[in-house]
Structure 1
Amino acid sequence: MNLQQLEYFKVIAETKNFTEASNILSVTQPALSKAISKLEEELDVKLFQREGRNIKITKFGEAFLKYAKEALNEIERGKLKLKEMKNNNDMIISISSTNCIGATYIPFLISSFFNHNLKVKFNMDNQSTEEIIKGLKNGNIDFGFISDIEDLDKDIESVLVKNEEYVLIVPRNHRLANEEEVYLKDLKNEYFIAYNNKSSDMSKSYSDLIGYTPKIYAEPSHSSVLSGLVAAGAGIAIILNTPMINTTKISVIKIKDDLGYKSIYMAWNKNLPMSENKIDFKNYAINMSEN
């Protein structure tokens, strides 16, 4: 028994005529008769009996018709549900980034994209690079934003979307607050705030950045806490330059030393299909990197 047989049975029962039913179903009468015969054979009852050129549904057919309609209606409801889920899924973009990128680059990208496309919704979280790659492979994440692409799986494609420079942030009342630039050697007596979480993605430690081991006052795991500690005067920090820095309570100072850049890559699973909205977002992020 299959859905096609149930649909044929329902239309014949409603029209009580094989010719009319075959026209509605766009199927030949022999094929229609064969399908009904197989259904009657499986059910071991006669569903119709002929009355001249017309047919009449039997008591067995009347009894079965109710369940056939219910089954077909349930299937239609199921199809509509799946369509609804698919449409909702097409409207949701799941992204994951390392903590540092999630605190600096992602809010700026999402805010900018909303001005371009107000229809979509985002599911966002911060994870380690390893967790992001795993999520891309199993399809739980649409796009990952990472800095390290050396160990990417062959199924994962990536593109450079941003090179962020490092800057120094200090509280507004700090002695360096009014300086435009500073050398790292001038910070040896300062207390630093540093990330302590591997998902922060500070690919260079402070020792690597400034060439000496600084005095660390605190090691928060989230950027908002780090910025809050700096604003409160607990210490200074080296972070990525971003429009998201709150300059009302923090001064941003350029670093004269060459610290290079943090490269931000957008990655996705090239084997998984993308909705139009996801393709739109991917192209938008890439185009932003080119401007």
Structure 2
Amino acid sequence: MELRQLKYFLKAKELSNFTEAAKILNISQSTLSQQIKQLEDELNVPLFNRIGKRITLTEAGEIFSDYALQSISRANEGVLVLRDLKNLNTGKITIGVIYSMRILFAKTLIAFAKQYPNIKIQVVFGTTKDLLEKLNLHQFDFIVSFHEETKEPHLKYHTLLKSNMVLVTSRKSSLAKKSSISLNEVATLPLALPFSGYSTIQFFVESFSEKNLSPNICMEINDIPTLFEIVKTGHWHTILSDTSVNDPEVVAIRIDGKNMKRNIMIISLKEAYEKKAVKKLCELLTNMHAKKY
């Protein structure tokens, strides 16, 4: 059953004449008759009583006409929705973002929502591990995450920026005026770090191990704002990406070492259809935050 056949059927019903319907539809009468006959054969019931050149609907035709009209109307509505989707007047995108990018991403989100107010956006913050798992389950259109490991062949990667790893300390700390600090010195400090499920702490555990250092980890907390509150006391310090630091009461000190930079990437499924809204949001992210590296 094709929409074309439904349109032919409804026009014949409206005019009660195959010849007139064919003229309006700009097709031959034989084509119209053939298409309606195919529709009747598929439904296994006659839709018209044919009396000479005059036609009338059968009981089945009367019943079917309501459903045919609904089908055409729904299809037309679908065309309008797709047109709106293409023009970014409707749609929904779901994104996963690491906690370290919440500040920068919020700026992008505000700018995008102002530009495309009819697009519904769902943002989920999480760890790199959790976000990648959900992306592979098709729960996100894309994620913004750290990535240094071997690239998976089914994923598409776009480097957004390189983030410096920094020691975060209280502005009143004796360390606050330092422009940089060595990993050896960091290992001697009392540290409150992100929870072990976070990519950042895994990165530093490996970095400390490579130098045979045993850091003084006093606390592990799975909430960045709480870490800041702990650091503000001046008794503890933390290690984070510089993208997550914007509190005036703390200072970010660059950690020395060529490996103290991490890639933050936009990651998506290679085979997934890229919505126009997703493409626009990724472009906005890149334009607002990408750094030369």
Structure 1 residue 107 and structure 2 residue 103: aligned? yes
Query: Relative to 1, partners in 2 of residues 1:79 and 1:45: Cα closer, same or farther, differing over 3 Å?
Result: closer
Aligned twin of 2:194? 195
Deviation at 1:170, TM superposition (A): 1.4
Residues 60-116 of structure 1 show CA distances to partners (whole Å, capped at 9, x for unaligned) of: 25x63243223431452366268648838964332223xxxx223343144146436
Distance in 1 (alpha carbons) for counterparts of 2:15 and 2:216: 87
- Structure 2 distance, partners of 1:40, 1:219, is 71
Residue pairs, 1:11-30, within 5 angstroms? 11-30=11-30
**CA RMSD, aligned part only?**
3.4
Identity of aligned residues (%): 20
User: What is the CA-CA distance between 1:16 and the residue it aligns to?
Assistant: 1.8
Aligned ranges 1:53-64 → 2 under 5 Å? 54-58=53-57, 60-61=58-59, 64=61
- Give the stretch that moved more between structures: 31-40 or 8-17: 31-40
Q: Which amino acid aligns with 1:277?
A: A
- Residue 67 of structure 2 aligns with which residue? 70
Tell me how far apart the structure 1 counterparts of residues 235 and 93 of structure 2 sit (CA, whole Å): 37
Cα gap change, 1:130 to 1:72, in 2 (>3 Å): farther
User: Which residue does the alignment assign to 1:204?
Assistant: 203
Residues of 2 paired with 1:182 and 1:10: CA distance? 78
Post-superposition Cα deviations, 1:8-51, rounded to whole Å, max 9, x if no partner, equal 22211211222221123233211211233344555544623335
Q: Which amino acid aligns with 2:100?
A: T
Structure 1 portions without partners, runs of 5+: none
Partner letter of residue 25 of structure 1? L
What is the TM-score of this pair, normalised by structure 2? 0.78
1:196-218 CA-partner distances (Å, limit 9, x unpaired):
23244434234734752222221
- State how far apart, in whole Å, the 2-side matches of 1:5 and 1:185 are: 77
Provide Cα deviations, 1:158-178, integer angstroms capped at 9, x if missing partner.
122211112211123323234
Cα distance, 1:219 vs. partner?
Answer: 0.4
Question: What does 1:123-162 align with in structure 2 at a 5 Å threshold?
Answer: 123-148=122-147, 150-162=149-161
8 Å CA contact 2:93, 2:121 repeated in 1:
yes
Runs of 4+ in 1 over 6 A off after TM superposition: none
Q: Secondary structure at the match of 1:202?
A: helix
Contact in 1 for aligned 2:46/2:61 (Cα 8 Å): no
Contact 1:168–1:252 under 8 Å retained in 2: yes
Cα drift, residue 195 of structure 1: 1.7
What letter is aligned with 1:20? Answer: E
Q: C-alpha separation between the residues in 2 aligned to 1:156 and 1:37?
A: 49
**What SS does the corresponding residue of 1:152 show, helix, strand or coil?**
coil
Aligned positions, number:
282
Q: Which amino acid letter does the alignment assign opposite residue 65 of structure 1?
A: E
Structure 1 distance, partners of 2:90, 2:264, is: 25
In 2, the alpha carbon distance for the partners of 1:263 and 1:224 equals 23
8 Å Cα contact 1:10-1:65 kept in structure 2: no
Q: Which amino acid is the alignment partner of residue 279 of structure 2? A: I
Please state how far the C-alpha of 1:236 moved relative to its aligned partner: 0.6
Rounded Cα–Cα distance in structure 1 between residues aligned with 2:277 and 2:31: 43
